[in-house]
Amino acid sequence: MLPVGSVAPAFTLPDKDGKPVSLKDFAGRKVVLYFYSRDLTPGCTRQALAFKAAVKDFAAAGAAIIGISKDSVASHAKFAAKEELPFLLLSDTEKTVLQAYEVWQEKKLYGKVSFGVVRSVYIIDEEGKIAAAWTKVKPETSVSTALAFLCPCSGN
């Protein structure tokens, strides 16, 4: 994980429509940046739907939601359409942003070693610095954890 207080790595990635989106587009605004493994899988879908359900709460806290995975633009378009996701999904097929945010890591499952995305959430403040970061988060709790950080008095 990148340390809290450090400058968030800049990036420009295509969204589900192929339009380039940069972190600098959100200057002066908070960003909830979440990294997930794969579109249309059970855990990633649960997490996306949890963000969808809380999108108004994040907006009230002044935060934009951005999901990033190594899936293609076409995969993101299908996922966003199927689940009616009202936030950005960005495609990092080259894994440059995944690596910059230190979420592309070696994983072990049943003795097999491979590389993949470690489900993580970063909150970037209005000045472009990392305000909070969580790694190995659960799909069911990552959204409430991020929301509780942004709105500590809301009871989330």
User: Residues 11, 100: contact at Cβ < 8 Å?
Assistant: yes
Q: Are 104 and 98 in contact (CB under 8 A)?
A: yes
Annotated catalytic residue, options 21, 32, 33, 44: 44
Is 44 annotated as catalytic?
yes
Output the CA angle 96-101-103, nearest 5 degrees: 90
Distance CA 52, CA 144 (A): 12
Q: Which residues are catalytic?
A: 44
